[in-house]
Structure formats: C-alpha cells, structure tokens
C-alpha cells in the first residue's frame, strides 16, 4: 500500500511515531494509502530545518525570491492534470473543481510574485533638521499553516505563497484526509529553486497541531477549519506568544429580492449550494427569498434544477459533484438532515438514500432541500458542510438583512437584485465580512483579502492580499541623522521635530 511520508529539508522523511492514518478513495470507499502521523519530535525536526534555512532565505533579495515563485507557478501549471487527478482521488470533488482549487491557489502565488513591490516601505526626507525617517518590512522567521481537507491545494498556497515570498520559511500541516497534493507542492517548490528547508510538510492530528502551537521557534500560525478548532488554535497560539489568524466556519446566506433575475439567481444558488458537495466554507446553503411569491417561485425553480443535477464519481466529466470526503462526514450530514425533520422543517428533497451503481460503498449523498426552516433550528444555526440547501423565508428587506447579520457566523453573504440602491444599502449594513452582489460565492481575488467576521474568524489579519503581507512581516522604522562632523551635546529629552 502507498505510504505518504513527511517532507522535511527538501526530502521525504519517514517519522518514527509508528502512528498512521488511512487515506480513502471517497468514490469507492476503499483505503488507498496510509499517511504518517507526526509527534512533537517530527514537528521539531521540520521547524529546525526551517530555522536553519530562514536567515539565508531572508537575505535573498525580493526579486530573486519572486523568480522562485514564478517558476513554481510554471511547474504547477505544467502538472495541473496530475495534481487535479490526485486531489480528486483523495477528496472526492470532480476534476474540474480540483483544477479550480489549484488555480485559485496559483492566483495567490501570482500575487506573491509581486513581493519586490509590496515590501517597499515608506520614506520621509527631512522629517526634522537633517533627519530622514523610513520603514522596512522584514520577515518574522519560521511560520506555520494548518489547513483543512476541503481545499488541499488552494489554502496551503494562500498561506505559504505569501509567507515564503516575503522571506519566511514555512512548516505546513495539511489535512491527513487528503495529504498527497500538499507534499507534491513542496517538492515543486524545491524544484523551482527554493533552498532545502524553506517549505516543509508534516502530517498529523491534534498531537501535531499542539506541537506547532507550542513550539517556541514558530512565530506565526495560520489556520482554516471549523470555528471551535479555530478558537482553540487562536487561544493556544496567542497564549504562546504567536501571531495567529484562524478562519472558522460559515453559514452563508443568499438573499433574493423580488426584482432579481430568478432564472440566473437560481442557477447561481444551485452551484453555490451543491458544488463540491457543499464542502466549502464559502458555500451558500441558505437561500432567503423575500416575499411569498418570490419564495414559491424560487422553490419551484430549485426543484426543477435538482431534477437535472448529476452526482457522479470525481472523474466523470458530466458530474456536477462527487462524494464527500469520508464515511463519517457523510453520516454526519445525514444526521443533520434527520435533525431538520425532527425539528419541523419540510424536507422537500431527501438525498440520504442516494447510491451510485457500481460505487455503492462510496461516500455519496444526494442533494437535499428543506423549506420552512426557522432561525431556531439546529440545521440553520450550525454548519452542515454538505449538499443541503435550506429555504428561510423573509417578508421584507429588513428581515432578510437581519438574518445573516444576527447569525453566529459572518463569513460571506450574497444578494440578488437589479436595484443598485438596495444592493448598496445591503452591502453597507450587513454584518458579514465578504459580500457578493449577484455573485453567489464572493471569494475576493488574490490581491484583495479573504476573511469573515464573528465566529468565522479569530485574529485581526485576513488571508492573502496586503493583509497577508502584513501578517507575515513586521515593520521596522528607522530615524536617521548624519552629523556634519561637529560635536554636539547629547540630548537628555525625547527628540521632537521642532
């Protein structure tokens, strides 16, 4: 059986923990590989490798670091098919979705290629008599990333792309459910010209996470996952004196006003709710039609779209989505559906009985649809992370605005309307971090920044864009005066610019 090892110091490293995790093929339900699980010893080995490489890497000028990023991007693009196939085989998402996963990560790498520009500091000539003041951005040292199963290419590249480009070295702990692509990305980073130890990958569970959070030589930790774990990572990491950004869960809403293009809005909602089997933090699992007429029409249109939606294996080019990542996750989604029924929601479409002929042991679950969902229901309050769409009806614009604003999560929201004034007011007032206007999945482009509010994010810095640069650097400000050769008395008071 294939064994997935750690990647430390530019080479595969077989740990000595003796602990392994199973890596499944979600299409068949079979174990296809086993992955080593690290202890604190393996984590420390990775950190020491990164520590040895960091000073020399930081001394490389930004333009040369950017050239490594350019070459890394070229290598990943050249191996897109290989990477997408491997990603789909471990995650279950369809090949087209895996390619999008990789491409979205590469867009952050493209941004990171601009490191020479984004690292330019500020300069003031003549801030005082013969005094100039300037600032510079310098790397933190060794940084770490803890990434989830749902985007095993994109989210690691969000993190290590910016961190490495600005002069840090990096220790990545990807999800143990689909670990192969992150290792391959580290190999390609070395092939692109990064020195040994610049990017290391260790696999593991809570033991590895805790070792990262406690390690004194790791200066910053970036995390994406569930909100409870995000809060844990933020609390433990900051208690250890680290800079931490921890992105959590979501319950994104799609508000549909009566004047919206309902045909387009419905198609957008279907793709955003059921794409990647709903395993996206930016999925859109709650649709909020405003007014009874709008709600009834949206329901009928969704039902019509679901009749044509195809669930298939990840390599089926006609499939809109594939299996979920694990049997346990499939069962968890099914449990949420039953909870919705028990709490009184109308289960319009039940996907729990879905089976794919020839793949009966795969982790498939069909699309489900609820109507009559209320804010008191568990399925509304919590993140299901599966192919389940819920209709929450609103009578007015104000009621629709209040729903996402009052929710415990504040990751993303979308509004569908032709009314520019309504859209502008909604975007201004809604208490959510990312807003789409007639855009169902409002993930910002790479040179902007990604991050939610409330229990969707812990910490003050968002992912990628200039927020990412600020997170992975520290500012040093220099106040300089060059004497003219004459001796002067020392100042015993704080200098001013008079």
DSSP run (H or E) holding 35? strand 30-36
Pairwise CA distance, residues 21 & 24, whole Å: 10
Residue 195 has pLDDT above 90, yes or no: yes
> 404 near 430, Cβ under 8 Å?
yes
Model pLDDT, residue 484: 77
CATH number of the structural domain 2-248+456-478: 3.40.605.10
**3-state SS class at 144:** strand
Residue 494 has pLDDT above 80, yes or no: no
Pairwise CA distance, residues 148 & 226, whole Å: 9
> 355 near 18, Cβ under 8 Å?
no
Model pLDDT, residue 204: 97
Q: What is the mean pLDDT of the chain?
A: 96
Please write the tens of the pLDDT for every residue from 75-91.
Answer: 999 999 999 999 999 99
In 3D space, the residue among 292, 281, 289, 282 whose CA is nearest the CA of residue 265 turns out to be 289
Q: What is the mean pLDDT of residues 113-132?
A: 93
The confidence band for 1, taking pLDDT boundaries of 50, 70 and 90, is confident
Please write the tens of the pLDDT for every residue from 356-380.
Answer: 999 999 999 999 999 999 999 999 9
CATH class of 253-437: alpha beta
Residue 489 has pLDDT above 90, yes or no: no
Q: Where are the domains of the chain?
A: 2-248+456-478, 253-437
Model pLDDT, residue 246: 98
Pairwise CA distance, residues 250 & 253, whole Å: 10
Q: What length is written for the chain? A: 498
- Taking residue 217's Cβ as centre, other Cβ atoms within 10 Å add up to 13
Q: What is the mean pLDDT of residues 385-394?
A: 98
> 208 near 202, Cβ under 8 Å?
yes
Please write the tens of the pLDDT for every residue from 418-466.
Answer: 999 999 999 999 999 999 999 999 999 999 999 999 999 999 999 999 9
> 169 near 54, Cβ under 8 Å?
yes
Residues with a catalytic annotation lie at 281
Model pLDDT, residue 365: 98
Pairwise CA distance, residues 467 & 463, whole Å: 6
CA 433, 426, 430, 367 dihedral sign is negative
Residue 345 has pLDDT above 90, yes or no: yes
Q: Structure pTM?
A: 0.95
Please write the tens of the pLDDT for every residue from 28-76.
Answer: 999 999 999 999 999 999 999 999 999 999 999 999 999 999 999 999 9
Question: Which residues partner with 244 through β-bridges?
Answer: 221
What one-character DSSP code corresponds to residue 164? H
Model pLDDT, residue 15: 86
> 188 near 136, Cβ under 8 Å?
no
The two three-digit tokens of residue 71, written as one number? 């070459």
Residue 487 has pLDDT above 70, yes or no: no
> 323 near 351, Cβ under 8 Å?
no
Question: Which residues partner with 22 through β-bridges?
Answer: 34
Model pLDDT, residue 326: 97
Model pLDDT, residue 486: 59
**3-state SS class at 220:** strand
Model pLDDT, residue 483: 81
Q: What is the mean pLDDT of residues 268-280?
A: 97
Model pLDDT, residue 16: 87
């Amino acid at each position: 059986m294939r064994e997935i090892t750690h990647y430390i110091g530019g080479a595969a490293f077989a740990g000595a923990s003796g602990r392994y995790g199973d890596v499944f093929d979600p299409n068949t339900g079979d174990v296809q590989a086993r992955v080593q699980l690290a202890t604190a010893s393996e984590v420390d080995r990775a950190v020491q490798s990164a520590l040895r490489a960091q000073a020399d890497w930081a001394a490389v000028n930004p333009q040369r670091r950017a050239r490594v990023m350019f070459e890394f991007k070229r290598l990943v693009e050249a191996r897109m098919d290989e990477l997408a196939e491997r990603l789909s085989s471990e995650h279950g998402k369809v090949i087209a979705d895996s390619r999008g996963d990789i491409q979205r990560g590469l867009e952050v790498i493209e941004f990171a290629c601009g490191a020479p520009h984004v690292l330019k500091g500020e300069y003031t000539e003549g801030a005082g008599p013969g005094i100039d003041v300037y600032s510079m951005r310098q790397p933190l040292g060794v940084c770490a990333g803890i990434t989830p199963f749902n985007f095993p290419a994109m989210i690691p590249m969000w993190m290590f792309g910016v961190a490495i480009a600005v002069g840090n070295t990096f220790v990545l702990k990807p999800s143990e459910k689909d670990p192969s692509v992150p290792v391959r990305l580290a190999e390609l980073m070395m092939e692109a010209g990064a020195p040994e130890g610049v990017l290391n990958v260790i696999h593991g569970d809570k033991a590895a996470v805790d070792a990262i959070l406690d390690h004194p030589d790791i200066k910053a930790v970036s995390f994406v996952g569930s909100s409870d774990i995000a809060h844990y990572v933020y609390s433990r990491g900051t208690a250890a004196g680290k800079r931490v950004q921890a992105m959590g869960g979501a319950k994104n809403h799609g508000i549909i006003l009566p004047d919206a293009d309902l045909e387009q809005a419905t198609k957008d909602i279907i793709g955003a709710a059921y794409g990647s089997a709903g395993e996206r933090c930016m999925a859109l699992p709650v649709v909020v039609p405003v007014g009874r007429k709008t709600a009834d029409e949206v329901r009928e249109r969704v039902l019509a779209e679901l009749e044509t939606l195809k669930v298939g294996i990840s390599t089926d080019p006609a499939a809109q989505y594939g299996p979920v990542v694990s049997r346990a996750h499939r069962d968890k989604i099914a449990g949420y559906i039953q909870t919705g029924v028990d709490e009184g929601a109308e289960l319009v479409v039940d996907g729990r009985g879905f089976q794919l002929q020839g793949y009966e042991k795969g982790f498939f679950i069909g699309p489900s649809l609820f109507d009559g969902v209320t804010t008191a229901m568990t399925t509304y309050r919590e993140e299901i992370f599966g192919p389940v769409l819920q209709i929450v009806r609103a009578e007015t614009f104000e009621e629709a605005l209040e729903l996402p604003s009052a929710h415990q999560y504040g990751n993303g929201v979308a509004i569908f309307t032709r009314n520019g004034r309504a859209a502008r007011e909604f975007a201004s007032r809604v208490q959510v971090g990312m807003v789409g206007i007639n855009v169902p999945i409002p993930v910002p482009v790479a040179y902007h920044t990604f991050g939610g509010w409330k229990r969707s994010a812990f910490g003050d810095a968002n992912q990628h864009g200039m927020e990412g640069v600020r997170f992975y650097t520290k500012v040093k400000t220099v106040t300089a005066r060059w004497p003219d050769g004459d001796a002067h008395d020392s100042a015993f008071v704080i200098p001013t610019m008079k």
